[in-house]
Amino acid sequence: MFVLASASKARQKLLDQIALRHKVIVSDFDETQLQEPDPILKVKLLAKGKADSALKKLIEENHALNTYQALLGCDSLFEFKGEIFEKPINKEQLISRWKRMSGQSGFLHTGHYLISLDNSKSDMESISQNNSCEGVVSTKIEFMNLSNFEINKYASTSEPYNCAGGFAIEGNGGLFIKKIDGCFSNVIGLSLPWLKNNLEKYGLSRLLLDR
Contacting positions for its own copies (CB under 8 A):
14, 17-19, 139, 144, 150, 153-154, 157, 169-172, 174-185, 187, 192-193, 195-197, 205, 208-209, 211
Phi, psi dihedrals of residue 138, rounded to the nearest 5°: -120, 135
Instruction: Identify which of residues 120 and 170 has a Cβ nearer to its own copies in the complex.
Output: 170
Shortest reach from residue 93's CB to its own copies, in Å: 20
State how far the Cα of 114 lies from the Cα of 124, in Å rounded to an integer. 15
State how far the Cα of 161 lies from the Cα of 96, in Å rounded to an integer. 13
Shortest reach from residue 169's CB to its own copies, in Å: 6
Shortest reach from residue 192's CB to its own copies, in Å: 5
Set 75, 118, 123, 181: catalytic member: 75
Instruction: Identify which of residues 113 and 154 has a Cβ nearer to its own copies in the complex.
Output: 154
Instruction: Identify which of residues 23 and 140 has a Cβ nearer to its own copies in the complex.
Output: 140
Termini Cα distance of the chain: 13
Beta-carbon contacts of residue 69 (< 8 Å; ≥ 6 apart) = 1, 2, 116, 117, 118, 204, 207
Beta-carbon contacts of residue 95 (< 8 Å; ≥ 6 apart) = 151, 152, 155
Annotation marks residue 30 as catalytic = no
Active site residues: 75
